[in-house]
A and B are shown apart, each in its own frame.
Chain A
Amino acid sequence: MTERERVARQSNELQAQEEPIARHRSGGLPTTWQAMRKSWQAYALLMPIFILLIIFNYYPPILGLLRAFYRWRPGVEASFVGLQHFNVYFTSPETPRELLNMFKLLLFFLFTGSVVPFVMAELIFRIRSNDAKELYRLFLIIPMLVPLIVVILLWKQIYDPNLGLINGILEALKIEALSRNWLGDTASALYAIMFMGFPWVSGVGTLIYLGGLGQISVSIFDACEVDGCTGIRRTLQIDLPLVLGQVRLMTILAVIAGITSFQTILVLTDGGPGFATMVPGLTMFHKAFRTQQFGYAAAIGMLLFILTLAATLVVNRAVHPAVEETGR
């Protein structure tokens, strides 16, 4: 990743050198129009991409922002309803519950998506034997060779009240009293969804942190050793500050996933039992594809967009990546 950043930085330097030459080549101070006509080839080559992007990638989000204020369904003329959808959403009795669920999931994703992978990456990074390191990396990747839907369906089976692994373990330990229908019980369903993926170490996060740690120059660690800064102190004072860029990335990813993702919930519980595991994203999905309220769904989509935007800005403000001052 940092390799790529370096390439990108080089490219910027290259461009900085190129630009004046290009301007010079086209002769004195050309009007923009002339320069544009001269570079028709570039525009022609970009044309197909932009046509596709305008229809399928620029237009939909803009349309979504507009249609949040309309009653909207396929085959029917959209009619303006103002802020009605937002009124309905915020006065609906299920809304506080699902916002709370979303918030709980978000906090938990911060732990599983940002903290746990860092600890795992740091431990693997500290391993002295390079062979062991490579082997651990390989084993981190193996669970990622299974499609996400299969992982979710497997966990659904693990939680199964009669055939599941968790109740099976409780039975073997003779504490059957604790066993329950994990996903079907209002008290446990949301926590079961959080627990999915335990112990949350094999994922892109650990690889990203490992990449970041690998970029820190050896001289820093040598200096640490000389200064007697080792163990947990080094982790907190050297390693962590130097991978803050990765910390920020993983935090933003966790926040966005916490606010917007609902695929897992859709498959595991579909928001149930009752509304116990409902989240706004799933409400959006249900409103659109089960009750055909596309305008209402677009309004929820817009709310979630604003939330992710705000949260991303907050994280960006809060986490400042440190700059390594010694030369590489």
Chain B
Amino acid sequence: MRPHPSREISPPGRRPLQLSQIGSHLFIITMLLLSLIPTYLLLTWSFKNGLQYRWERWTISLPLRWRNYGAAWEIIGDYMINTVIVAFVGLVGMLLLSLIGGYVFARMSFPFRETLYYAIIALLMVPWVLSFIPAYMVYVRLGLLNTRWALIIPELAGGPIFGIFLMRAFITGIPEELYESARCDGAGVLDLIGRITLPLALPGLATLAVLNFIGVWNSFLWPLVMIQDNEKQMIAVGLYKLARSATSAGFHGWTSQDFSVWGPLYAGYVIASLPLVALFVVLGKFYVEGLVDSGLKV
């Protein structure tokens, strides 16, 4: 997904803007505005107090109530930290395994190379519904229930499946001469991986890292069944439980509901989105590639 080269179909002499072009612009803008409605609601609601939420729900209320964010952090901060820890520990291992696997399959020749490679790639075809229930049982059997390892291992073991696919293609593109000259200098396999491949494979690794971070940040069903202690819970499940407790508090009818819970709740949603926003701002191109790859990963 690189920005396409300019492909103006019309010859250099510009034609007047056609009616159909204006129509397209209007249609696209309408669609984009409609799809931004939830994001708009999220942002405005996050700055409201109870009264504002009750009486001016659809407009921006001033002054912005930043205090909601402090209150939200109190509640969801631990979930955020948990998720970041899990994501990073898993990420380091996953990237290492993907780099090594990608190198071995791209640069070394050995018997059964293709067989082993396709044995790994075949796992991409196994839908998660088939493994979800038995994987839970395996993790229970290994005593991993309600531990952080239960969250890290899927990233560590499952991540390199797509990672090796991606890194093999990437590393094959590195010119052989670089490896030749390094070998002449007496470099071993680990040097070839660490000194030659790693620096050149960084863009591929960045895509992979972003892809996996998005995956961990969004992971919901697995931590929901794996983690019982709130102190170890991940952000997505944390938000879900928080929303449930907020809505069930108003179960007895909305008039008795305490509207002041909503502002901090939505502020929490915004805070939970910030790492993804930051990732996009810092690694824009890789973020988009990661998104697209997450589609390919099924």
B176 to chain A, nearest CB (A): 8
Chain A residues near B151 (CB-CB < 8 A): none
CA distance A256 to B229 in the complex (A): 32
The number of residues on chain A lying at the interface, defined by a beta carbon within 8 Å of a beta carbon of chain B, is: 111
Within 8 Å of chain A (Cβ to Cβ): is B64? no
Chain B minimum-CB-distance residue to A38: B110
Chain B minimum-CB-distance residue to A11: B172
* A143 in contact with B35 (CB, 8 Å): yes
Within 8 Å of chain B (Cβ to Cβ): is A82? no
* A281 in contact with B295 (CB, 8 Å): no
Chain A residues near B277 (CB-CB < 8 A): 145
A6 to chain B, nearest CB (A): 9
Chain A residues near B296 (CB-CB < 8 A): 1, 249
| Contact pattern, B 96-133, Cβ under 8 Å of A = 1, otherwise 0 | 01001101101011111100100010010011111111
Within 8 Å of chain B (Cβ to Cβ): is A35? yes
* A64 in contact with B254 (CB, 8 Å): no
Within 8 Å of chain B (Cβ to Cβ): is A177? no
Tell me which of A22, A165, A263 contacts B41 (CB under 8 A): A165
Tell me which of B132, B141, B173 contacts A7 (CB under 8 A): B173
| Contact pattern, B 165-190, Cβ under 8 Å of A = 1, otherwise 0 | 01011101100100000000000010
Within 8 Å of chain B (Cβ to Cβ): is A120? yes
Within 8 Å of chain B (Cβ to Cβ): is A8? yes
* B164 in contact with A202 (CB, 8 Å): no
CA distance A118 to B176 in the complex (A): 40
Among B103, B130, B166, B269, max chain A CB count under 10 A is at B130
Interface stretch, picked from B26-34, B66-74, B194-202, is B26-34
The number of residues on chain B lying at the interface, defined by a beta carbon within 8 Å of a beta carbon of chain A, is: 100
Tell me which of A63, A150, A155, A165 contacts B134 (CB under 8 A): A63
A79 to chain B, nearest CB (A): 15
* B57 in contact with A163 (CB, 8 Å): yes
B61 to chain A, nearest CB (A): 15
CA distance A254 to B291 in the complex (A): 16
* B220 in contact with A149 (CB, 8 Å): yes
Within 8 Å of chain B (Cβ to Cβ): is A53? yes
B-to-A contact residues, CB < 8 Å: 1-4, 6-10, 17, 20-21, 24-25, 27-28, 31-32, 34-39, 41-42, 57-58, 97, 100-101, 103-104, 106, 108-113, 116, 120, 123, 126-138, 140-141, 153-154, 156-158, 160-161, 164, 166, 168-170, 172-173, 176, 189, 217-218, 220-221, 225, 235-237, 239-240, 243, 254, 269, 272-273, 276-277, 280, 287-288, 291-292, 294-296, 298
27 A-B residue pairings within 8 Å (CB atoms): A1-B296, A4-B166, A7-B169, A7-B173, A8-B172, A11-B169, A22-B109, A36-B112, A39-B110, A46-B101, A46-B104, A53-B120, A56-B135, A57-B126, A60-B137, A64-B133, A127-B24, A141-B291, A145-B277, A149-B220, A153-B269, A201-B32, A207-B1, A221-B9, A253-B298, A266-B221, A267-B240
A-to-B contact residues, CB < 8 Å: 1, 3-4, 7-8, 10-11, 14-15, 18-19, 22, 32, 35-36, 38-39, 41-43, 45-46, 48-50, 52-53, 55-61, 63-65, 67, 72, 74, 120, 123-124, 126-128, 130, 132, 134, 136, 139-151, 153-158, 162-163, 165, 168, 198-202, 204-205, 207-208, 210-211, 214, 218, 221-222, 225, 231, 249, 252-253, 256, 260, 263, 266-267, 281, 284-285, 288-289, 294, 297-298, 301-302, 304-305, 308
11 additional contacts (CB under 8 A) given A72-B137, A146-B276, A148-B218? A35-B110, A57-B126, A59-B138, A136-B28, A141-B288, A146-B39, A147-B236, A149-B239, A154-B41, A201-B32, A260-B129
